[in-house]
Every structure is written in C-alpha cells, then in structure tokens.
Structure 1
Amino acid sequence: MSACNQRRENILNSDRTAVNPAGSTRFRAMQHRNFQLFIAGQLISLIGTWMQTTAQLWLVYKLTGSAPLLGVFGFASQVPMLFLSSIGGYVGDHYDRQRSVIATQTCSMILAFALAALTLANVIHEWEVIVIAFLVGIVNAFDVPIRQAFFVQMVGKEDLPNAIALNSSIFNGARVVGPAIAGFAIAWVGEGWCFFLNGLSFVAVIVALLMMRIERTKMKPSKDSPLRSFVQGFRFAMSDLPVRSALSLLSVLSLFGLQYSVFLPIYANDILKGGARTLGLLMSAAGVGAVLGALQFAARTHYRGLARWIAVTSTTCAVALIIFSQARVFWLCSALLFVVGFAATSQMAATNTLIQNRVPDELRSRVMAVYATMFMGVQPIGSLLAGGVAKRIGGPYTLAVFGALVLVGSLFFLFRVVMRLPRTSGETTAAPAND
C-alpha cells in the first residue's frame, strides 16, 4: 500500500465512531464521523431545497396561471446540467473537492436569500423566478459531480455503496417532508419565507463541511481543457461495458420513465377527480417508495450482482409505469407509484455504485460528470418531449408509450449485457484509466 493510501486509510479509521460491527449493516457508512456530519447537514439542507422547489412552482403558477411556464421553469432549472457538468467534473478532479462543495453550497445559499428578498419585497416577477432557477441549475451542474466524487473521501471505497444509498434515502425522505412543510408554510406565511428558510438551511451543510477532517489529496495537474477532460471521462465510460450499459439504461429511465411526475396533476384532477391533496398523496407515495428503495439497497455489503439488480429494478419500474398509465383507482395508482419510486431509486443507487466502484480515482469527478449529464442532463429534454407527445395522444397513453420504451431498454440490457457477463463479472473490479 502506498504512503498516500495508508494515510487516507488511517484518517478513515480514526474517523470511525465506536459502532458495534455486529449491528445493522444498513447504516455502516454512519460509522464515519465525516459522513455523519454530511448526512446531518444534508438532510436539513435538502428539506429546505424541496421547500423552495415547491414554492417556486406555486409562485410561477400564481403569477402567470400558465401551465406551459411551469415546463419552462423545469427546463431552466435542469438544462445547465446538460452543458456544464463537464466543467464541474473538471473542477472536481483538479481542485479540492471539500472546498469546491462548500463554494457551491454557499452560492446556492446566496441565490435562495436573493429570491427570498425579491419575494418578500413584493417585487418578484415570473422571469426572475425562472432566471434564479437557471442560476441554481448552473450551481448544481458543478455541485453534483464534485459531491458524488467526494463520497469516497468521506467513507472510503468499502463503505461507498452504503453511503450512496443512504444519501439517496435522505434525498427522497426530504422529497416527502419538504413539499409538505412548504404547503403549510405557503398558506401561513407565503412563498418568500420558504425561500428564506431554504437559505438558512444551507448554513447546516456548510458548517458540517467545515467540521470535516478530510485528507488533502494531491490533485493531478492537467493542461487539458474542461472539454477534453470531459471527453476523457466519457471515453472511459464508453469503453467499459458495465459502465456504458448501466449509464445508457439510466438515460432511458431519465428521458422516459421519470417523466411520470409531469402527468400526476392530470391523474389527480381529471382521472381520479381529486385535487391538490390527491396530487400530494400521489407524490408522497412515490417518495415513500423511493426512501425504502434506497434503504433496501443500503443493506448491501458487496458489489456483486449490481448489473443484475439494475436489470430487475428497471424492468419492474417499466411494468409498474405501464400499469399505472391505465389505472383509474386511487389506491392502485398510489401502490404503483410506490413501486415506481422504490425501483427507480434502487436502480439509480446501483448504477451510481457500479460506476464509482470501477472508475479510477483520478477520473472520478469526470466520470461522475458523465453520469450527471446522462442522468440529470436529459431530464429537461424528456419534459419537453412528454409535453409535446401528450398534446397529441394524451397523458395516459404517453406514459404507457414511455413505460414501454423503458421496458424495451431494460430487456435489451438484461439479454444483451447481463446474460453475457460471467457470474464473477468485471462489474466488481475497478477498470484501469485510459488517460
């Protein structure tokens, strides 16, 4: 073992708290002090983030009464990921990741306070909400690949799958809690205070990051441009069969499968004859499933069988979406959305884990930038596509078609990729870097 790796291992061991190793493996990443700090701060911050997202959607609709502008808002908040995550990956591989995440969280806090000030002063317009959403999207394009690559420095490679799953569980837990709090807060004190509370929530994660003890890794100097660095990460991802296949399937899920949320207002109002409460319950059903899916994946103690699990969860998600598209009873819709949330989140966590296990450390942020682009970057395209198709054939049939496309991708992945992998496949072995 090299001296650098030995120092890193010593720091990770010293940061482990006295947790009974015979206890539940579901939370083993919580043995690391750094990850404890991260989770505590992240949970508070994510609740605030979901509060702001909900309040922004409500504010845009209240100011304009325009459903298409809601789509514009979603597009503006997500499209920077498609074009700028490559630069985020470059930063993460050439600059200190801890300081970089602190910088992105600080920028998000400033934007939240700016939005709160404009709203509380009653000078806010819809275009300002959309512009700030776009700026937050730019920050996220840097934050996501850097933060994903930062996990391994907090917990080490052994506990990385558990850390990814636990992070996913709190993200989806916040997705259940945040909008509910926002709904009451909007009714009682207005949207502006939701934005203000989100700004305050970033203090928790920034303080947590500052309290961490992270070894200062020596970043590899590079004269390459961010674009060339992204190409290096993309070349690695496309040259590795498990990584390439898992990323492609995740893109199909993001482009088609995750667009079900666009159609939930149609189901709540027109099909189930409910209202905002029905919509909230449907969203919560998917959120609860997502939390349990992440926690279930957190119980894994090894990297074996990830490709097979990705195939199973993706197929399950696709079938549930197809059935949901034709469901007309509330309890059945809720149950199916629970399954969709469970399967989709488990697939995301498994894909993230498979990639992080195989990627060399010197390419980690760049490959995670590819992950962010192929996952989150295609979502705004899917949103626009879903809206266009739904105008012609309606929401339920659009969702059925999208579910069928995910099913085709899942079966292709199963028979052309998983079935060809040996039982002791290379999905569990780190691949060499290409640069």
Structure 2
Amino acid sequence: MSAPSTAVRRRFAAAGASLRVRNYRLYFFGQTVSVAGSFMQTLAIAFLTLHLTGSGSALGVAAAARLLPFLLLGPVGGLIADRADKRRLLFFTQTSSAVGSLAFAVLALTGVITYPLVLALSLVLGCLTVVDNPARQSLIAELVGRDTLANAVVLNSVSLNVARVVGSVLGGTLVAAIGTPACFLLNAASFGAVIVGLAAMRTDEIARTPPAPRARGQIRQGLRYAVRTPELAAPLLMLTVTGILAYEFPTTLPLLATGAFHGTAATYGIMAAVMAAGAIVGGFVAAARTTRPGPRALAITCIGWGAVIVLTALAPSVWTACVALVLVGYGSITFNSTAKTTLQLASKPEFRGRVMALWAMAWGGGTVIGAPLVGWVAEQFGSRWGLVVGGVPTIVLGMAMLPYLRRRDRSDGGDAVRSSNA
C-alpha cells in the first residue's frame, strides 16, 4: 500500500476515533436525529412568527425567548448538571422537550396559536434546554477517555451540522408544502432517538464524575474559576461577542432569503443547508487533526469567519450567497469547536458542567440580546445589514485578540494547553 493511501486511512481513522466507543456511538446518532428535529422546529417557529407578525424584530424576540433562560439561569443549569447523574437528567429533559413540541403541534394544527403563545412555549422549552445542554456536553467526557475527548467534541459539532442540513432542508420543504405543524410533530418524535440511545448504554462503561457536593456559593465559585483561568476566560470572551452579534443565522438568514433574495422557506432551507455542509467539511478536517491548534488559531479563525460573513451580506444573488455560506459554515465550526475543545480540556471535571453552561450562555444566550438587535437592524436598514453588524465586529475582535493569544501561544501556559490537547 502506498504511503499517501496509508496516510489517508490514518486520517479517516483519527477522524472517527471516538465512534469506536459504543456508548458514544449511541449518544452521537441519537443526538444527530434529535437535533435535526430541533432545527426543523427552529425553522418552523421562525416562519410561524413571520406569518403571525410579518416583523423582523418580532422574529428576533421569538429567537431570544427560547434562549433567555441561558442568559438568566445558565450557571444554575450547569450546577444542576454537576450535581446530577447526567444520563438520568437527560431522560427527564428530553422527554419533557418532546411534550413541549407536541404542544406546539396541537396549537398550530387547531389554529389557536398566537405570537404570545409562541413566546411562552419557547421560554418553557428554553428552561429545559438550559439544564439539558450542559448535561449533554459534560456527559461526553464520561463516555470517552481523555485521549479521544477532543475528537468526540468535534464530532459532536459535526453531528449538529449534519442535523442542520437534514433539518433545514426537510423543514423548509415541509413548511413550504404543508405548513409548520409537521415540523413540530417530527421534532417531538425525534427525541425518541436520544431516549432509546440513553436506555441502551452500558452504564458500567460510563466513567461518572463524582457529583459536586451541595454547598453555598457554588455558582460564584464556578464563575470565579472561569474568569481566573486564562485558558477559559479568553475563549468565553470571544464566544460571548460572536454569540451576540455573529451567530444569529436563525434570524438573519430567513430575513435575507425573503428580503434581499425574495425567496421562501425553501430558499432559507437551502441556504442553511449549504452553510451546514461547509461546517460538516470543517468538522471532519478538525476531527482528523492529530494535534490541537494553539490559542492563536482561535483569533485567526475569528478574523476569517467574520470576513466570509461580510461576503455573504454583499452577495449579489442567492447562489453566490450559498457559495459564501459554505465558508461561513466552515468558519463557524472551526471557531466554535476550537473554543469548545479548549474549554472541555482545560476545565477541571468537577467544574465542567458549570464551564459548559457558560459556553452555552456565551454562544447561545447572547441571542437574547443579539437576535432582537440584528432583527431590528435588518428591518430598519435592509436584510443584508443583519449580517454586516455581525461580520465586521467579528473581524475586529479577532484582530484585537490576536496579539494576546499569540503571546499565550508562545508562553509556557500555551504550550501546556497544546500538550494536554495532543
């Protein structure tokens, strides 16, 4: 066998290293199905909101309502995850979320759904997700060993984007053909994949982290730990800024599709799918790495990601926008997975739930502020500006952080992080 073909096989083997663990395979495929349903529901809520209100600002508020609990209760959700058996906790959150999706379906089918009800149900589902998310993220470390943790984290991001492709295309098609209730019903059914996977896991092969003992001040303790640990603080700062301004695609892309390009839900589904396809490619490239990138790579990725977001905003047609969105997807997963891997590996196990709750607050909770903001900007100045106000600050952030992260890359601390990531 030639050396190039041997190297390619080794790359493929490295990319799927964590999937050799049975419990993680069950987690991976269950999450992929469930998250595909969740993206269908997100799309359905977006177009249901536009149908009910016709307002970009209202769309931003609806997106923010689902994520408001991340901003208000994120550390509480992380502490619950640190204290609980994460597998059992996920049984509860996934089952309850399925019931919430069924409620959306019934209200939409009977025609009694209103914008306030959309906000109320989104808020309830957000409260479940604020506990579900850190439990899911920190469970990964209990399913795989430290040697394959970075690979598992990246593959988890890949599964999210595979799910985005399937969910966006299928959801856009269903909304355009028969309406939003079908998306809600399929999402409710998709939670069954996670529940079955959790039930099938071999519990004796789960390396459970000892539950954090109950004590006063544990939320403040987790916040202090994150702020005083540079390997955690820098990625969290960058995730916060980009989470508020740049990662608002559930708001900006529907407005771009229907505004600048005069399209439909199916147009948005295609745009979201090609962005996710770029993310899948980026995820497999990241998963195949045998060494982890240093801190400087986070700033460089941030700059490149911001640049292609701006290019998307300037695209003259939907097809050129789709080409740019492939690069947007590639940049988003590279940036987020690099930051998330750093957080997973740099955090102590007893703090991991709280640290990953801060990741969710930064990356998702920022939508509470950002979605209404970019929705208002797009409504006032044109749909393209919703992307511009995210892309330009992302470029500036990366350029501002580059000197600091370059110094950390050269310091003993930066060397230690790379060593632990290898």
- Do they fold alike, i.e. is TM over 0.5? yes
Q: Which residue of 2 aligns with 1:257?
A: 246
> Residue 327 and residue 36 in structure 1: after superposition, are their counterparts in 2 closer, same or farther (change >3 A)?
same
Tell me if structure 2 keeps the 8 A contact 1:316–1:343: yes
Secondary structure at 1:159 match in 2 = helix
**Residues 1:56 and 2:10 aligned together:** no
Once the two structures are superposed, the pairs formed by residues 10-409 of structure 1 within 5 Å of their partners are 24-213=13-202, 214-224=206-216, 228-259=217-248, 261-303=250-292, 305-390=293-378, 393-397=381-385, 399-409=387-397
* Residues 251-303 of structure 1, C-alpha deviations (whole Å, 9 max, x = no match): 12111222355333454344345454443332222111112122221112333
Aligned length: 408
Tell me if structure 2 keeps the 8 A contact 1:272–1:329: yes
Shift of 1:187: 4.9
Tell me if structure 1 keeps the 8 A contact 2:86–2:136: yes
Question: Quick check: 77-86 or 269-278, which moved more?
Answer: 269-278
Shift of 1:230: 2.4
Cα distance in structure 1, aligned partners of 2:264 and 2:207: 51
Shift of 1:361: 0.7
Cα distance in structure 2, aligned partners of 1:150 and 1:267: 37
Q: Give structure 1 regions of 4+ aligned residues with deviation exceeding 6 angstroms.
A: none
Cα distance in structure 1, aligned partners of 2:161 and 2:389: 26
**Residues 1:427 and 2:411 aligned together:** no
Secondary structure at 1:250 match in 2 = helix
Question: Quick check: 260-269 or 413-422, which moved more?
Answer: 260-269
Listed as ranges, the gaps of 5+ residues in structure 2 are: 1-8
Secondary structure at 1:271 match in 2 = coil
Tell me if structure 2 keeps the 8 A contact 1:120–1:193: no
1:418 maps to a residue whose letter is R
Listed as ranges, the gaps of 5+ residues in structure 1 are: 1-19
Question: Quick check: 416-425 or 284-293, which moved more?
Answer: 416-425
Shift of 1:171: 0.8
Cα distance in structure 2, aligned partners of 1:364 and 1:101: 16
Cα distance in structure 2, aligned partners of 1:395 and 1:101: 38
Percent identical among aligned pairs is: 32
* Residues 393-423 of structure 1, C-alpha deviations (whole Å, 9 max, x = no match): 4443453343221111101221122234326
Tell me if structure 1 keeps the 8 A contact 2:57–2:379: no
Shift of 1:120: 3.0
Cα distance in structure 1, aligned partners of 2:250 and 2:174: 23
* Residues 19-71 of structure 1, C-alpha deviations (whole Å, 9 max, x = no match): x9896210111010001111121121112112222222222333344443222
* Residues 353-372 of structure 1, C-alpha deviations (whole Å, 9 max, x = no match): 00111111111111111111
* Residues 376-402 of structure 1, C-alpha deviations (whole Å, 9 max, x = no match): 111220112223444554443453343
For the aligned residue pairs, the C-alpha RMSD in angstroms reads: 2.4
Q: Which residue of 2 aligns with 1:13?
A: none
Shift of 1:101: 1.5
Secondary structure at 1:35 match in 2 = helix
Shift of 1:90: 0.7
Cα distance in structure 2, aligned partners of 1:395 and 1:187: 21
* Residues 194-219 of structure 1, C-alpha deviations (whole Å, 9 max, x = no match): 22221111111011112212245432
Question: Quick check: 364-373 or 26-35, which moved more?
Answer: 364-373
